[in-house]
Amino acid sequence: MSVVAGRDWTPQERAEARRNTVEQLHAQLAEQVSKLDSLGAWQQWLGLVRSLHSYSFSNTLLIAAQRPDATMVAGFSTWKQRGHWVRKGEKAIKILAPILHKIPLVDAAGQPVLDDDGEPRFRRQMVGAKPVNVFDAGQVTPEVVGPRRPSLLTGQAPAGLWESLSELAKVEGYTVTRGDCGTANGHIDFETREIRVRADVDEVMACKSLCHEVAHALTMTPADVRTYAAQPGCGRSKPSPWRTPCSVRMESIAPITRSTTWPAGLLAPPPAAPRSPTSSPRPGSA
C-alpha cells in the first residue's frame, strides 16, 4: 500500500500501510544479511559503519541496500536543525525505529516499585518496530562538508577500555607494552607472547590499535599463525589490494569497537586459562 498525496487515511489504513512497509524492510534486511558472505558486501558494510556508527547493524544494512554511497544520514528534522534542507523530490531512505512502551516496575510480590519521591518507576520495553525516513548528506542543501581525511585518532578513550583490553590480552597469555612499532601502530609477537602499541599516540588511538592486536590473539588459529607472515594483507606495514580472511577479521573488529561507546569494564573477560603458544609463531603488525 502506497501513500497517496492529499488523501485522508483512516487509522486502520495507516496501520496497514505501516505493517506492509515493515514487512518489506524485513525482507530487504534478510536479503542483505544473506549477501554478507561476499567479501565485497562485507567491506561495503564496514565502510558504512565507520561513518554511520550511531545506527544499528540492521539499519546500516538497510541504508546500504537503498543508498550504497551514503556517507552521513539523519532525519528531516535533524538536517533542518543543522541548517540543511532535503531537496524536493528526494526519495527517503527507510529504516526501522523501535516502538517503546513504558512498563511499570514491580517487586517480587507484584507491588509497584517507587522512587525516592514515592512515584512509580518504569522501564521501557520494545514492543515492535516502525518505519522512519532518513536522508543522506547528498540529498540536502546547502552542501555538507565531507568527512576529514583519515588520520590518527586523538583524545581520551572511554574509561576502562585500555585496562579491559589489556586484561583480555592477559587471559590469552599476552603481555601488553607501549613502545616502538616501526611504521605500524601496533605489533603482536606470537613467539614472545607480547603485544606492543606505539607510545607516541593518544589514548584513543592506542586503544584502537590494541583492539586490533587482541583480535589477532583471539581469532587466529595455529594454522593462521604458521602462515601469517606469508599472507598478503597480513603482517605487513603496507596494505595489500588482496585481502585474506585474516585481514578482514582484524580490520572488521577495530572499526566496530571504536565506533561504540564502551562502558568501563565492558570488555573484562571471565577467568580462563591462557592458550598455549603455537608451535610455529610469526610476528605481525597493524
SS (H, E, C) 42-56: HHHHHHHHHHCCCCC
Residue 134 pLDDT more than 90?
yes
Q: What angle, 0 to 180 degrees and rounded to 10, lies between the N-to-C axes of helices 245-258 and 39-51?
A: 20
Range(s) within the chain of domains with CATH label 1.10.10: 161-285
- Gyration radius (Cα) of the chain, Å: 24
At 248 the pLDDT is: 61
Q: What is the structure's pLDDT at 277?
A: 41
Q: In whole numbers, what is the pLDDT of the chain averaged over residues?
A: 78
| Higher-pLDDT residue of 110, 223 | 110
Is the predicted pLDDT of residue 255 greater than 80, yes or no? no
Question: Residue written as cell 577479521?
Answer: 249
Across 5-9, 69-73, 238-242, the highest mean pLDDT is recorded for 69-73
**pLDDT score at 253:** 66
What class has domain 161-285? Answer: mainly alpha
Percent of the chain beyond pLDDT 90? 34
- Work out the pLDDT band at 222, boundaries 50, 70, 90: confident
Q: CA 93, CA 83: separation in Å to the nearest integer?
A: 20
Q: State the sign of the Cα–Cα–Cα–Cα dihedral 11, 13, 14, 19.
A: positive
Phi-psi category of residue 19: left, alpha or beta, with phi > 0 → left and psi -120 to 50 → alpha: alpha
Which range (33-37, 164-168, 179-183, 200-204) has the least confidence? 33-37
